[in-house]
Structures are given as C-alpha cells and as structure tokens.
Amino acid sequence: MSEEKKPVLETRGLGISFGGLHAVSDFNISICSGELVGLIGPNGAGKTTVFNLLTGVYVPTEGTVLLNGVPLNGKKVHQFVAAGVARTFQNIRLFDDMTVIENVKVAFTKDIKYGLVDAFFRTPRFWREEEAMTKKAMELLAICGLEDKADVLASSLPYGQQRKLEIARALATDMKVLLLDEPAAGMNPTETAELLACINTIRDSFGIAILLIEHDMSLVMNVCERIQVIDYGVTIASGLPEEIAQNPKVIAAYLGE
Amino acid sequence: MKKNGIGRRYLINFIATAVFFILALVVCGNGGSRMKLSVVPSIWQCCYLIIMAASLNLVLGFLGQLSLGHCGFMAVGAYSAALISLAFQRAGFYEEKSGVAFLLVLLLSIVAAGVLAALLGVLVGIPALRLKGDYLAIITLGFGMIIVNVINNIPFCGQQGLGQGSASSALYATGLGFSNDEKVQYLWVALLTVILCLSLMFMFVRSKYGRAIRSIRDNEIASESSGVNVNYYKVLTFTVSAFFAGVTGALYACSNAALATTSFAFTNGSILNSVFIVVMVVVGGMGFLTGSVIAAVVLFLLNYTIKNGAWVAALPAFLQNVFTYPMLVYSIALIIVIVFRPKGIMGSSEFALCDIPKWKGWLQQYFASRKAGKEELRHE
Ligand SMILES: Nc1ncnc2c1ncn2[C@@H]1O[C@H](COP(=O)(O)OP(=O)(O)OP(=O)(O)O)[C@@H](O)[C@H]1O
Ligand SMILES: [Mg+2]
C-alpha cells in the first residue's frame, strides 16, 4: 500500500567518508508520511552519521537527500529544518539555562512572523503571536507529558523527561520527517513504555514520517513497520521486522562472526 | 487573565520609572553646588556605563560570545555625535546650546551615533560567525585598537576637525560638550536615553530574539537543528549591541568637554575600558540585565570613592597602599564574586518590582533552608 504513495524523505546513494574511512556508503531509504521505520545496527555502524547527513550537519561526499522530491544539496542545517526535517540527539542537547517551555518556543522561531519593531514596541501582533505560540507549546508539552513542568529549567528535569522534551522541541519545528536518535537510551522500562505511547500518539495525530534509531530490540520490533540494518556504513538488510529477525546477515552482524 | 497580569506589570514598571525620572530631575535641578559639581556629572557617567554594561551583556551574557572591543563602538558613537553637532553648528543651525534647534541636533546625533556604530557592529559580527571564545576575543580586542587608530588618523576627527577646530577640542565651546549647568539642564536627556535603551533591550531579550540568542549560547548545534538561523541572530546581536554602545558614545560626547581617542583605548586605566565593562557584566550576572545596571552603578561608585572618597584614607596604611592600585582592587572584587556568586551578585533572577512583595517569603525560605542544613550537619 505504502509503495503507491510518494515518499516524503528519500535518499539516493548517500555516502560520506572521513579521510579514508567510509562511515556511510550507498545509503538508500524512502519513507512515506505516517510510516515508522527503524534504523538499527551495531555500535559505530554509522546510524548517527546517517542522521547527520539527513539533517545537513554533514555534507555528503556522494549522493543526495530529497524531501518531497526536492533535493536539499548545499542547504544549511536550519534550511533543512525549514524544509521539514527535525531530529533529536543521541547525547541530549537541550538549552539548559532556559525553561522547558522556552526550549519548545525556540523551535517556533522560524515560523514567528513578528519583526524587530514589533518586539521593541510590543505591538498587538507581538502579543498575538506570543500568545498563540504559548498555547501551541503547551499542547506539544502535553503530548509529551510535560505540561506541569513548563516553567522549570530544562537542566533540572530528570533524564527521561529531558529526552521527551527533545521530542517536543523537534515537534515544534512543524516537521514532515522526524528523526529520533536512540530516544529510549538510558530509560527504565516504565519510561520506555511511556515513550512508546508518546511516539504512537505523535504518529497518529501528526501523520508524519518517523525514522527511529534504537538499540532496544523489543521496542524496534514492536513499533516499526519496516527496519533497515546497517553495518560498517553499508545496508545489509531491510524489510519487515519478522524478516529482519530471521536474517542470517543481521544475526551475524550483531553476534559477530 | 494572564495577559492582565502582564499589563499590570508593565503599568507598575512604567509608573515607577516615571516617578524615579521626575524625582531625579527635581532633586538634581534644585540641589546646591555640590549637586551640580559632583552628583550630576556622576549621574551622566553612570548613565553611559549602565548602557555600556547592559549592551555588552547582550553579546556576552545572552549570546555567550566574549567581546573585548566594546569601547570601540562607543568611540565611533562619540565621534559621530560630536562631528554631527559641530557640523550643524558650523552650518549656523544653532548658536547657543539651547532651544528647539539644538535639541533636534542633540537627538539626531544620539540616533546617528547609534546607527553608525551599529553598521560597524555588522562588520564585527561577521568574524564572530567563524570564530569563538579566545579567538573572537582577540579579534574584537584588535577591532577596539584599530578603531582608535583609524579615528586618530582621520584628519577631521583627530587633528584639524571640520576645517576649523577639531572634535577633540571644540566640543565644549560649540558642540555637544556640556558645562555643569547644562548637564543639569539636559539631565533629562541622559535619563530618558537610559530608560529608553534599557526598555528596548528588555523587549529585545524577552522576545523570540532573546530566546534564539540564548539558545545559541546554550547549545549551538541544537539551536541550528531547531531551525534557528544562527548566523543571522549572531550578527543581529552584535549589531543591536553596537547600536546601544554607539548611543552611549553620544552621551559621553555630551558629558565631556573634549574627546580624545585615548579614553576609548584598551590601555585606558580608568573605568571606561572594554575589559572593565566585561567585569561589570560578569559581576552583575551574565544574561541578567538588571544585574548589569546595578553592577555598573556599584562599580562606578567604588571607582569614584576610591579616587575621591574619604573612606580609603581612614583605612590602615597597608590597605591604603592596595587602593593606590585600583585595578588590583577590582580584580580581587571580581575573583570574590566569581568564587562566591558565580552567577553574579544578582544570582539567577532579574530584579522585578512586582517581586518585592514576595521577598519576605523568599528570605524566610532561605533562612529555613539554612537552618535545616545546619540541623542536618548536627545530626551527622
Ligand atoms: N566527524 C567525524 N569524523 C571522523 N569520523 C567520524 C565522524 N563522525 C562519525 N565518525 C565515524 O563514523 C563511524 C560511525 O559513527 P556513528 O556515530 O554514526 O555510529 P552509530 O551507529 O551512531 O553508533 P552508536 O550506536 O554507538 O551510536 C564511527 O566509526 C565514527 O568514528
Ligand atoms: Mg549513534
């Protein structure tokens, strides 16, 4: 069914090398709206590097990233975000000295219409936009279960909630594709279950494409419709969860030959 | 509901500012000679130091970039304002330092000083896109030095000045430079400028702009990945900060009889020194504008009383010797602040009039927590 739809995010022969090291090579993926795809692989396989390529942090040495069929070559990171790619980080990167709600509001910056004059002189437009934004931010925080923490400093949140705040902030960029880099890392089973519920809500209510990196196999097998496996930067398998679980190449890569 | 609360806050602040403004003018206008000779000139100095510290805080505290050339912008502002006023005077637009014509020129020079400094701010902001930390500090330090030398070597700034007499010497007689009487007369201009500049800076940091630049300070990569155009906001902050520094330059030109580039140089041993402004920001708390205001006034008073005050003379001899090296005292003060109040003397909150009723509760909480801490120690 999803084969008939046009993919939102597509890559063609994406690759990057650092000096002599081919961190990622010939990476091809296509994701449609509403799909949840898992990206797995052993440590150092190049998963985070793929994310950095998809968000413009790294400039690919070969291949292209296409969003809705439009290539994003040569664009800056914030232009990737404006085009509709949002991400979270494996090692949490929040704005520590800002409140939870401010963290989310930063991601609205590009969509706010008021200018310097409105800000300096507090025009009605300023108040209107700020108010609308506060409301939207609170909605996003509610999705991630953080609405009662809106005014505390981001750094004072417990670990699991910091990860959720990263997701809320990514959602605020009004994205078409959401990239989650090990969102469950370091979480206890309850937190993971909450996160899972949160991800499902997002998928159902936003209708966006999600690409998920995760080491927790049960989580990946549970939520992902498709899984792509990479090892040493090369795609070794891709398909339905059950196929992946039985794939001898994948088993070999994980257990080591 | 919430919006009403904000409206009330604005009203309270507005009324308090207006009362302060009128009170200051009445008191200063009717004081004796001591008022005229030392208090009012000091207030002028405080005025430009406050804006300097607050505007540097935009770059240092909110954007998180170390800039050591802030006085360079002030120099540009001072010379622009001085030359503009002189030009108008030469053109016969005004003769006396009074009347509507002069007032117009005064306001024009203040705004023009800001705009010209802001243009330079763009230029300094551009290297800040590629450099960070120490490297940026060196670049901005260099900028401060270069600007002073450039001004020195422009004929009409440094030496001959607009054909007859230079900006360096003719200010008092013909340009902006105010006598003590005029400083009293035009005190409202200085106070109003400070109030306006501070309000604008508050509005700036409490909008999407403030959020964006603080996010860059906290985590540049995450900021970019949240769609913030980091380069744009960096240059913008440098520009806005330079604008206000330029405005202070105009106030400086008003409160001094003559301009000399050495007063803006890095080697300047007095309080007006880019490094000293950095100290004010650090002492007041990075990222807290009210802290900068308080630190600017406190450090000015410290500097002033060390130079002129009686209390130094009352100290034991060995301490007096220390005070003959004021810079040493400031360094010690800075170290003490960094050790005991790393977030600045104000701690981690802005001073707000609306919070005053809450102070009692905060103090009780503070003492209660200290008591609890002591009890805990005893139990151990
Ligand atoms: N900027 C860089 N310069 C040089 N090498 C890099 C760079 N970024 C990544 N690499 C290399 O690319 C390889 C893949 O790293 P990457 O972080 O993408 O792995 P990963 O699959 O995310 O691993 P993990 O599961 O541990 O997060 C590693 O060998 C890493 O050392
Ligand atoms: Mg990784």
A31-70 pLDDT, tens digit per residue, is: 999 899 999 999 999 999 999 999 999 999 999 999 999 9
In a domain, B24, yes or no: no
Predicted confidence (pLDDT) per residue in B356-376, tens digit: 777 777 788 878 877 776 666
Pocket of ligand 1, candidates A43, A47, A91, A217: which has the most ligand atoms within 8 Å of its Cβ, to mutate? A47
Identify whether the C-beta of residue B312 lies closer than 8 Å to the C-beta of residue B305.
yes
Q: How far is CA A14 from the centre of its chain?
A: 18
A94: enclosing H helix or E strand: none
Residue that wins the pLDDT comparison between A2 and A49? A49
Query: Smallest CA–CA separation between A6 and chain B, in Å?
Result: 25
Strands A177-181 and A85-87: what pairing? parallel
Chain A residues lying within 8 Å of B287, measured CB to CB: 97
> HSE-up of A160 (CA within 13 Å, CB side)?
15
Check residue B59 and give its pLDDT.
Answer: 94
Local confidence band at B38 (pLDDT 50, 70, 90 cut-offs)? confident
Q: From the list B203, B204, B211, which residue is nearest A109 (CB)?
A: B211
Residues of B with CB under 8 A from a CB of A: 3, 200, 203-204, 207-209, 211-212, 214-215, 217-219, 221-230, 287
Q: d(Cα A180, Cα A172) in Å, to the nearest integer?
A: 14
Query: Which of A89, A93, A112, A151 best tests the B interface by mutation, with the highest count of B CBs <10 A?
Result: A93
- pLDDT value of position B347: 65
Give the DSSP letter of residue A214. Answer: -
Token digits for B49?
Answer: 């130091």
pLDDT at B160 (0 to 100): 46
For B204-225, the pLDDT digits (tens) are 999 999 999 999 999 999 999 9
The pLDDT value given to residue B322: 76
Instruction: State the pLDDT confidence band at B115, using cuts at 50, 70 and 90.
Output: very high
Residue B332 lies in a domain: yes
Q: DSSP state, A6?
A: P
Q: Is residue B159 pLDDT above 90, yes or no?
A: no
Is A51 within 8 Å of chain B by CB? no
d(CA B13, CA B353): 7
**What would the pLDDT profile of A121-175 be if each residue is shown by its tens digit?**
999 999 999 999 999 999 999 999 999 999 999 999 998 899 999 999 999 999 9
Q: What pLDDT is stored for residue B348 in this prediction?
A: 62
Q: How confident is the model at residue B34, as a pLDDT?
A: 77
Range with the poorest average pLDDT among A194-203, B197-206, B271-280: B271-280
Mean pLDDT, range B162-172, rounded to an integer = 56
Chain A CB contacts of B217 under 8 Å are: 97
Task: Look up residue B259 and give its amino acid.
Answer: L
Per the domain annotation, does B103 fall within a domain?
Answer: yes
Cross-strand partners of A156: none
With cut-offs at 50, 70 and 90, classify the pLDDT of residue B269: low
Comparing CA positions, the residue from B304, B297, B286, B300 lying closest to residue B346 is B286
What pLDDT is stored for residue B172 in this prediction? 67
A228 C-alpha to ligand 1 centroid (Å): 17
Architecture in CATH of A9-255: 3-Layer(aba) Sandwich (3.40)
Residue B7 lies in a domain: no
CB atoms B208 and A169 under 8 Å: no
Look over chain A and give the mean of its residue pLDDT values, rounded to a whole number.
91
Contacts of A94 in chain B (CB under 8 A): 218-219, 222
In a domain, B231, yes or no: yes
B11 in any annotated domain = no
The mean of the pLDDT values for chain B is 84
The pLDDT of B36-44, averaged and rounded, is 87
What domain range is B344 assigned to?
31-260+272-349
Q: What is the predicted pLDDT for the residue at B31?
A: 76
pLDDT at residue B376, as a whole number: 64
Q: What is the pLDDT of residue B158?
A: 58
Q: Which of B87, B258, B112, B251 is nearest to B171 (CA)?
A: B258
List, as one string, the DSSP characters of B290-355. HHHHHHHHHHHHHHHHHHH-STTTTS-HHHHHHHTSHHHHHHHHHHHHHHH-TT-TTTTS---GGG
Alpha helices in B186-273 (DSSP H): 187-205, 208-218, 220-225, 230-255
List the one residue out of A10, A95, A146, A118 whose CA is nearest residue B209. A118
Report, as an integer, the average pLDDT of A195-222.
Answer: 88
pLDDT digits (tens, 9 = 90+) for A77-123: 999 999 999 999 999 999 999 999 999 999 999 999 899 999 999 99
- The number of the ligand 1 atom at minimal distance from the alpha carbon of A90 is 27
Residue B162: its pLDDT value, please?
43
- For helices B274-284 and B289-308, give the axis angle rounded to 10 degrees: 120
Partner residue facing B212 (CB), from A87, A109, A116:
A109
Q: Is the pLDDT of residue B379 over 70?
A: no
Question: Total structural domains in chain B?
Answer: 1
CATH of the domain at B276: 1.10.3470
Q: Is the CB of A44 under 6 A from ligand 1?
A: yes
> How much is the average pLDDT of B9-28?
87
Q: Is residue B233 situated within a structural domain?
A: yes
Q: What is the least distance, in Å, from the CA of A43 to any CA of chain B?
A: 23
| Lowest mean per-residue pLDDT among B130-134, B170-174, B250-254, B273-277 | B170-174
Angle B76-B79-B83 from CA coordinates, rounded to 5°: 140
pTM of the model: 0.89
Interface of A with B in 86-115 (CB under 8 A): 86-87, 89, 93-98, 102-103, 105-110, 112, 114
Instruction: Give the model's pLDDT for residue A205.
Output: 87
Pick the residue with more confidence: A186 or B219? B219
A41 lines ligand 1 (CB under 6 A): yes
